[in-house]
Structure 1
């Protein structure tokens, strides 16, 4: 049986993680502050779209808090009870965040429809000023989140996208407020609320799908298991691949286990070829491969269980 374990956990990684947490804490603080200002402004002005944007900001602040907590838990080392470690804490965090986003989005749609049948006057100037402040803060928060590692982390990538959509939502609210000032088109506020809600629900569903796929141990996006089997079987002295499983431990680390039937002249070099293929083409650094001597005449897909 062959094992290939690759671990890249150093002190510098931990140091960067803690400094990133500092940036994220600032992002949470300014988002909560903005949420309070927007809710007060929305209540005073009568603008539902401003309150919608506020709830979106609050959900983003919550998402970043969960990401910080999950990241701290994920840093804990493996134990005899948790042999895989705690890396999936961040995926659980992402699932909680996505569920919250969907609920918030649906609630905003409900409020928009209710307001359509019970319209109230809106102070456009308050809407425009607060939405402008929100645009500046959303842009700053998006920058902080991006600099904290959004490229390589599912939670933070989601938070970054949400902050960008917050900035977009603020632009939509500014346009709505301007149209209310110029033409008293109050219905624009409701249209803006629906647009923001659709954005929130879309991102929530997208994040939920990714999180559930990882928790259900689905093969990562971009890896065709049939193609992977064909590539392994095309290597020298590899007869057949059986019972292959490819899954993600978290949003960065992919694992693989499989059984291989080898030709009689195979050597340890054959196994090394497989390891190199997995590492170079699929970034799979951790694989467990069993050598099967009873080849039989097994039919079916390489990932089917016996």
Structure 2
């Protein structure tokens, strides 16, 4: 069954302003951590900076997508512009995976020969990062109920705060006990966490771009519900997919009993109302066929061309 998408609406301009502030704060923090990491010789600080940079990139993507997605559909983009956010998310997660692998490589080399690290610089910048991450999480908290992507940003900033705590602890151990191996060890830990998040979340954008079925909708339940409508004899060539983050769609051939053909408009209206009320599918394209003019060998999923490839001949009703 679909998730409940009911949520409080935030004024678009107010939401844009909050995201813009979060972007600025993360940009300043990223620069400060990279410079500080280089000066202090701390790979953990640089790793945390790259993690913050990835969140800043996600914020930029969300900020741009919020504006672009408001554009109406046109002749070039007949479905609208909402999927730009999904494409950008895929790029972002792919970049994160590459960054995570690189940090593991660098951390492993430094574990063998740990360099000298200035612990106080690490602790101070880790503390600044903790404050900024908490601020950013607070700015996006009230927005995350209305957007899966903003919620991901909110959760990422909470995880960044935990990573900053780890950096502070590492810097403290270096100051007190000169445990220089802690810095690359924390780097590897942060990198593994980045990989964990990225690998787990990249499947969503890939599934959407591949026109996969919405993960929160039971295909069998949808098909059964349509078939249970009076006058419907069956379905074939069913396509369930996502137009956007909150917009599921259904394309299908609907086989109608011969005795119910004169009620076609009513059957169509009943199917569309049921899809919207029970499954929150508000976009559906339905092609109707009389039962006595329907292909008995038509597949439940797939395309008409699949049968054409199999038998080399395409006949019957489309």
TM over 0.5: yes
C-alpha displacement of 1:220 = 0.6
Structure 1 match to 2:240: 246
Structure 1 match to 2:21: 26
2:296 aligns with one of 292, 295, 298: 298
Report SS of the residue matched to 1:259.
strand
Distance 2:152 2:88 in 1: 11
C-alpha displacement of 1:154 = 4.0
Report SS of the residue matched to 1:116.
helix
Distance 1:212 1:154 in 2: 15
For structure 2, which runs of at least 5 residues remain unmatched after alignment?
1-8, 305-318
Is 1:287 the counterpart of 2:287? The answer is no
C-alpha displacement of 1:257 = 1.2
Contact 1:142 1:160 (8 Å CA) reproduced = yes
Instruction: Tell me whether 50-59 or 138-147 shows the greater mean CA deviation.
Output: 138-147
For structure 1, which runs of at least 5 residues remain unmatched after alignment?
1-12
Is 1:66 the counterpart of 2:61? The answer is yes
TM-score, scaled to structure 1 = 0.88
C-alpha displacement of 1:253 = 0.9
Structure 1 match to 2:274: 277
Contact 2:170 2:183 (8 Å CA) reproduced = yes
Query: What is the CA deviation profile of residues 246-280 of structure 1, one whole-angstrom value per residue up to 9, with x for unaligned ones?
Result: 11111111111111112234324333332232112
Taking only aligned residues, the RMSD between alpha carbons, in angstroms, comes to 2.0
C-alpha displacement of 1:295 = 4.5
C-alpha displacement of 1:71 = 2.5
C-alpha displacement of 1:51 = 1.2
Give the number of aligned pairs.
Answer: 292
TM-score, scaled to structure 2 = 0.85
Report SS of the residue matched to 2:38.
helix
Structure 2 match to 1:87: 82
C-alpha displacement of 1:296 = 3.8
Distance 1:213 1:67 in 2: 19
Query: What is the CA deviation profile of residues 64-99 of structure 1, one whole-angstrom value per residue up to 9, with x for unaligned ones?
Result: 112222322222111122211111111112112212
C-alpha displacement of 1:17 = 2.3
Instruction: Tell me whether 294-303 or 235-244 shows the greater mean CA deviation.
Output: 294-303
Structure 2 match to 1:229: 223
1:129 aligns with one of 104, 120, 124: 124
Structure 2 match to 1:5: none
Structure 2 match to 1:9: none
Is 1:138 the counterpart of 2:136? The answer is no
Contact 2:239 2:302 (8 Å CA) reproduced = no
Query: What is the CA deviation profile of residues 190-217 of structure 1, one whole-angstrom value per residue up to 9, with x for unaligned ones?
Result: 2211111112122222332111111111
Distance 1:261 1:216 in 2: 27
Structure 1 match to 2:209: 215
Contact 1:229 1:302 (8 Å CA) reproduced = no
Contact 2:237 2:298 (8 Å CA) reproduced = no
Structure 2 match to 1:194: 188
Report SS of the residue matched to 2:258.
coil
Distance 2:221 2:296 in 1: 18
Contact 1:128 1:174 (8 Å CA) reproduced = yes
Question: Residues 105 and 93 from structure 1, CA distance in 2 versus in 1: closer, same or farther, beyond 3 angstroms?
Answer: same
Distance 1:298 1:157 in 2: 46
C-alpha displacement of 1:158 = 2.7
- Give the number of the structure with larger relative contact order, counting CA–CA contacts within 8 Å between residues 6 or more apart: 1
Is 1:100 the counterpart of 2:95? The answer is yes
C-alpha displacement of 1:245 = 0.8
